[in-house]
């Protein structure tokens, strides 16, 4: 018969596999030198946090060594981490973010 079109029935094809995009955490690391105020401002600017939330996350990094700033698709996570790392460099602070795959 004419199979130049496909109604998906006669051939009983498998459905297209639509994978949900993998998600990545942007993790901020502690250091001994970056001023707390700079970290708070960074969290406000790049992660849209208000002052209270940014202060809370900054203190978690300070006390526990690291904290998650947000979870994004890979491209967005890479971009956010690169933006923070460049912003820190531009201001001569050692502050670093890295990305980490979620389960």
- Interface with ligand TYC (CB under 6 A), residue from 28, 49, 84, 99: 28
* Cβ distance to ligand TYC smaller for residue 31 or 78: 31
Q: Residues 52 to 71: which contact ligand TYC by CB under 6 A?
A: 58, 61-62
- Interface with ligand TYC (CB under 6 A), residue from 39, 69, 77, 84: 39
How is residue 66 written in tokens?
């690291």
- Is residue 35 within the footprint of ligand TYC (CB under 6 A)? yes
CB-CB contact of 9 with 74 (8 Å): no
**Element (H or E) spanning 79, and its range?**
helix 74-90
Residue in 92, 44, 91, 93 with CA at minimum distance from that of residue 70? 44
């Amino acid at each position: 018969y004419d199979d130049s079109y496909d109604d998906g029935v006669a051939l009983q094809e498998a459905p297209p596999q639509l994978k949900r995009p993998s998600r990545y955490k942007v993790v901020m690391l502690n250091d001994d030198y970056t001023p707390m105020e700079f970290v708070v401002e960074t969290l406000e600017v790049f992660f849209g946090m208000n002052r209270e939330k940014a202060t809370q996350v900054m203190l978690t990094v300070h006390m526990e060594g690291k904290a998650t700033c947000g979870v994004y698709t890979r491209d967005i996570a890479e971009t956010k981490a690169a933006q923070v790392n460049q912003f820190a460099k531009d201001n001569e602070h050692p502050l670093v973010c890295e990305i980490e795959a979620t389960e």
